[in-house]
Structure 1
Amino acid sequence: MSARRKTVTYFHLHLVSDSTGETINVLAKAAVAQFERVQPIEHSYALVRTPRQLEKVFAGIADAPGIVLFTLVNEDLRHALVRRCAELGMPCLSVLDGVLAVFEAYLGTKTTHRPGGQHQLDSGYFARIDALNYTMAHDDGQNVHELDQADVVLLGVSRTSKTPTCIYLANRGVKAANVPVVPGIPLPPIVENLRRPLVVGLLASPERLVQIRRNRLLSLSETEETDYVNPSMVRDETSAARRLYEKLGIPVIDVSRRSIEETAAAIFTLYQQRKANGG
């Protein structure tokens, strides 16, 4: 590969929100993912609801010119930000305007212009908090006697992204637990008898696992070769995990080339299908 092709383009990306910034961060990541060899330098401004707070945003974008994306519902703040960006010659876009316009046209009603309306403290919010608390208490094989209370239980060998996938699911209100599949150590008996939760097995190619595990050991300053990163042993480990999943009769997801979001989305689809079928 030539040096030219390896070049990464860096740019400043300003994300301005009158709420937590979660929505605009997700949208920005989705947009950036469509471009190769570009890397944003993100500047996030959350809970911007007063002119004084907006002044800090102005200072930030003046110091680091780039793209400005915002989700502000207050008209005065919106207009002030757009004017300032025009003066600085910076592109500025309200990422929800197009979506809201479609909703308004179809529903025949106007938006409420309520800051952070998507994060109101409704039953869904408390369900997500409850799910997150459950997930953190049942990570990596903890409290296995309570696994029947889960919505989803993930099984997987080391470094198949069990924990972050569970946390992602919890943020969608799904109580997710995970249990490690360890060579030579049988699963807790309760796992084979679970009926209520959806049980899913995670797999990755041996080559991918070795790469991830080596990087993990390097980050811990561990350089000694062990069975944990031995290609032959890892192949045996993944083969044994696959046989276990077949024995349990559970769905299997290969995470080798999937992001955590993609893995969680696939599991969530299986979960929704199971619920629709009365499971």
Structure 2
Amino acid sequence: IYPLIRTEKQVAKVFEDIEEEPGIILYTVVDQKLARGIDERCAAMGLPCVSVLEPVLAVFQSYLGTPAGRRVGAQHVLDAEYFRRIDALNFTMEHDDGQLPANMDDADIVLIGISRTSKTPTSIYLANRGIKTANIPIVLGVPVPESLVNARTPLIVGLIATAERISHVRQNRILGNTSTYVPSDYVDRAAINEELAYARQICTRHGWPMIDVSRRSIEETAAAIVALRGKSR
């Protein structure tokens, strides 16, 4: 396998190796000049070669009625959308797990919830879509930051789950970090139900929507949040 072949010099180097160990050549070069060069070299050496992308491009061109752009590395274009995603990722990492709570109005979305309700992975998934997402943990008996209560810009969403689900996830986390497991309120379902009741109380008091993540993947949770955001605009 020879990745990132983009020049005639690189092609020549590849064929030096092929001469030593000839075989069937499959290539995904989009530059037509380089592709012709590969075809010609293979023909001269009597080797079969196949452009893997050509049949796919032909189907797209026929269906869309437009020629392929054939720009090398087009998927890595550093455009405004790319930098928007990077900015969102930086913001999300800086505002993970309750960090920098003072500037919640800079967020597009704020996720809140008790421990192990998928706040961080969901935040990162949303950030990859260019959505600045902060997340703040809800701790039993501890008020949420005033900056969150007073925030006017972001959509604030509470993530909840069943006590059984949270207990299971927490137990796995504990077992993964220590060889000795000692039961505690952290995994006790009755204690978790108290945490969940407190989280629901906070969300209800402030009119923040809640999403049950018990049977949702990260992608499904994110899609539900994006849908809520669309309705709130």
The TM tier, using the shorter chain, reads 0.7 to 0.9
Task: Please tell me whether the aligned partners of residues 103 and 147 of structure 2 are also in contact (alpha carbons under 8 angstroms).
Answer: no
Aligned twin of 2:197: 239
1:261 aligned to which of 209, 215, 219 = 219
1:153 aligned to which of 98, 110, 135 = 110
Bigger strand fraction: 1
Aligned twin of 1:189: 146
Aligned twin of 2:56: 97
Return the structure number with greater relative CO, CA threshold 8 A, min gap 6.
Answer: 2
Q: Would the alpha carbon gap of residues 72 and 187 (structure 1) be closer, same or farther in structure 2, given more than 3 Å must change?
A: farther
Q: Would the alpha carbon gap of residues 106 and 150 (structure 1) be closer, same or farther in structure 2, given more than 3 Å must change?
A: same
1:55-134 superposed matches below 5 A: 73=30, 76=35, 97=56, 101-102=59-60, 104-105=61-62, 107-134=64-91
For 1:228, the aligned partner's letter is Y
Q: Would the alpha carbon gap of residues 253 and 121 (structure 1) be closer, same or farther in structure 2, given more than 3 Å must change?
A: same
Q: Tell me, in whole angstroms, the C-alpha distance in 2 between the residues paired with 1:204 and 1:214.
A: 15
The secondary structure found in structure 1 opposite 2:158 is strand
Task: Please tell me whether the aligned partners of residues 152 and 177 of structure 1 are also in contact (alpha carbons under 8 angstroms).
Answer: yes
1:125-150 per-position Cα deviation (integer Å, ceiling 9, x unaligned): 11111111111111100111111100
1:21-66 per-position Cα deviation (integer Å, ceiling 9, x unaligned): xxxxxxxxxxxxxxxxxxxxxxxx975656568999xxxxxxxxxx
Aligned twin of 1:38: none
Q: Tell me, in whole angstroms, the C-alpha distance in 2 between the residues paired with 1:54 and 1:268.
A: 50
The gaps in structure 1 that reach 5 residues or longer are: 1-15, 17-44, 57-69, 88-92
Aligned twin of 1:177: 134
Q: Tell me, in whole angstroms, the C-alpha distance in 1 between the residues paired with 2:87 and 2:157.
A: 21
Q: Tell me, in whole angstroms, the C-alpha distance in 1 between the residues paired with 2:171 and 2:124.
A: 24
Q: Tell me, in whole angstroms, the C-alpha distance in 2 between the residues paired with 1:129 and 1:156.
A: 25
| CA drift at 1:251 | 1.4
Q: Would the alpha carbon gap of residues 46 and 270 (structure 1) be closer, same or farther in structure 2, given more than 3 Å must change?
A: farther
Q: Does 1:248 align with 2:206?
A: yes
Task: Please tell me whether the aligned partners of residues 166 and 177 of structure 1 are also in contact (alpha carbons under 8 angstroms).
Answer: yes
1:208-257 per-position Cα deviation (integer Å, ceiling 9, x unaligned): 00000000000101511111001110111112211221111111111111
The secondary structure found in structure 2 opposite 1:166 is helix
Q: How many correspondences in the alignment?
A: 207
Q: Tell me, in whole angstroms, the C-alpha distance in 1 between the residues paired with 2:28 and 2:202.
A: 47
Task: Please tell me whether the aligned partners of residues 158 and 209 of structure 2 are also in contact (alpha carbons under 8 angstroms).
Answer: yes
- Normalized against structure 2, the TM-score is what? 0.77
Aligned twin of 2:175: 218
Q: Would the alpha carbon gap of residues 252 and 111 (structure 1) be closer, same or farther in structure 2, given more than 3 Å must change?
A: same
- Normalized against structure 1, the TM-score is what? 0.65
For 2:169, the aligned partner's letter is I
Q: Tell me, in whole angstroms, the C-alpha distance in 1 between the residues paired with 2:85 and 2:64.
A: 28
Q: Tell me, in whole angstroms, the C-alpha distance in 1 between the residues paired with 2:109 and 2:188.
A: 31
The secondary structure found in structure 1 opposite 2:96 is coil
| CA drift at 1:119 | 2.7
What value does the CA root-mean-square deviation take over the aligned residues?
3.2
Q: Tell me, in whole angstroms, the C-alpha distance in 1 between the residues paired with 2:29 and 2:113.
A: 42
Q: Does 1:168 align with 2:125?
A: yes
Q: Would the alpha carbon gap of residues 265 and 232 (structure 1) be closer, same or farther in structure 2, given more than 3 Å must change?
A: same
| CA drift at 1:175 | 0.4
Q: Tell me, in whole angstroms, the C-alpha distance in 2 between the residues paired with 1:127 and 1:184.
A: 37
Q: Which has the larger Rg?
A: 2
Aligned twin of 1:135: 92
What percent of counterpart residues are identical? 48
